[in-house]
A and B are shown apart, each in its own frame.
Chain A
Amino acid sequence: MELSQVRYFIALCKTLNFTRAAESCNVTQPAFTRAIQKLEAEFGGPLLFRERNLTQLTELGRTIRPHLEAMLDAADTATAMAAAQTTRSPASLKIGLAPGIGAACIAGAVREVSKKLPDVTIHFEESSPAILVEAMLTDMLDCALLPEFCAIPERLNRWPLYTDHAVAVLPANHTLTEKNTITAQDVLDEPILVSDYCGGFARRLAETTRLGFQLQRCNGAVAQLLDLVTAGLGMALMSDRLRYAAPLTTRPFREPELPRQILLTAVAGRPLNIAAASFVKLCRASAFS
Chain B
Amino acid sequence: MLATLGQSGFLDNVLQPGHLFPDFMLPSAEGRLLSLGEFLARGPVIVSFFRGEWCPFCKLMLAALTEALPQISAAGATLLGLTPETGGLALSMKTYHGAPFEILSDVDCGVGLAAGVVFRIPPLYRASLGDKFAARQGNEGWYLPIPATFILTPDGRVAWRFANIDFSRMPEPADIIQAVMSMRRVM
* Contact surface of A with B, Cβ cutoff 8 Å: 1-3, 5-6, 38, 41-44, 64, 67-68, 70-79, 81-83, 85, 108-109, 112-113, 115-116, 159-160, 278, 281-282, 284-289
- Whether A72 contacts B36 by the Cβ 8 Å rule is no
- Whether A71 contacts B25 by the Cβ 8 Å rule is no
Chain B contact residues (Cβ within 8 angstroms of A): what range? Answer: 35 or more
- Whether A287 contacts B91 by the Cβ 8 Å rule is yes
- Whether B24 contacts A42 by the Cβ 8 Å rule is no
Given the complex, which residues of A lie within 8 Å of B175, measured CB to CB? none
Q: How far is the CB of A157 from chain B (nearest CB, A)?
A: 8
Indicate which residue in B35, B87, B91, B118 contacts A284 across the interface (CB closer than 8 Å).
B87
- Whether B138 contacts A284 by the Cβ 8 Å rule is yes
- Whether B114 contacts A78 by the Cβ 8 Å rule is yes
Residue B26 interfacial (CB < 8 Å):
yes
Q: A42-B10, A43-B120, A286-B88 are in contact. List 11 more A-B contacts (CB 8 A).
A: A1-B13, A44-B122, A67-B143, A72-B110, A74-B111, A77-B110, A78-B22, A78-B25, A85-B37, A281-B26, A284-B27
- The CA of A92 and the CA of B10, in the complex, are separated in Å by 39
Residue B9 interfacial (CB < 8 Å):
yes
Given the complex, which residues of A lie within 8 Å of B33, measured CB to CB? 81, 112-113, 115-116, 278, 282
- The CA of A85 and the CA of B37, in the complex, are separated in Å by 10
Q: Closest residue of chain B to A278, judged by CB?
A: B33
- Whether A282 contacts B27 by the Cβ 8 Å rule is yes
- Whether B25 contacts A278 by the Cβ 8 Å rule is yes
Q: Give me the 4 closest cross-chain CB pairs, A-B, nearest first.
A: A287-B88, A74-B110, A67-B141, A285-B105
Residue B170 interfacial (CB < 8 Å):
no
Q: How far is the CB of A31 from chain B (nearest CB, A)?
A: 14
Scan B96-119; emit 1 where CB is below 8 A from any A CB, else 0. Answer: 000000000111111101101011
Q: Quick one: which of B24-53 are within 8 Å of A by CB?
A: 24-27, 31-33, 35-37
Given the complex, which residues of A lie within 8 Å of B5, measured CB to CB? 42
- The CA of A82 and the CA of B120, in the complex, are separated in Å by 27
Central interface residue in B88, B89, B139, B140, by most chain A CB within 10 Å = B139
Given the complex, which residues of A lie within 8 Å of B9, measured CB to CB? 38, 41
Q: How far is the CB of A77 from chain B (nearest CB, A)?
A: 7
* Contact surface of B with A, Cβ cutoff 8 Å: 4-5, 7-10, 13, 22-27, 31-33, 35-37, 86-92, 105-111, 113-114, 116, 118-120, 122, 135, 138-143
- The CA of A289 and the CA of B95, in the complex, are separated in Å by 15
- The CA of A108 and the CA of B31, in the complex, are separated in Å by 8
Indicate which residue in B27, B87, B110, B135 contacts A71 across the interface (CB closer than 8 Å).
B110
- Whether A67 contacts B27 by the Cβ 8 Å rule is no
Q: Closest residue of chain A to B5, judged by CB?
A: A42
Central interface residue in B7, B23, B89, by most chain A CB within 10 Å = B23
Given the complex, which residues of A lie within 8 Å of B88, measured CB to CB? 285-289
Q: How far is the CB of A164 from chain B (nearest CB, A)?
A: 16
- Whether A75 contacts B23 by the Cβ 8 Å rule is no
Given the complex, which residues of B lie within 8 Å of A81, measured CB to CB? 24-25, 33, 35
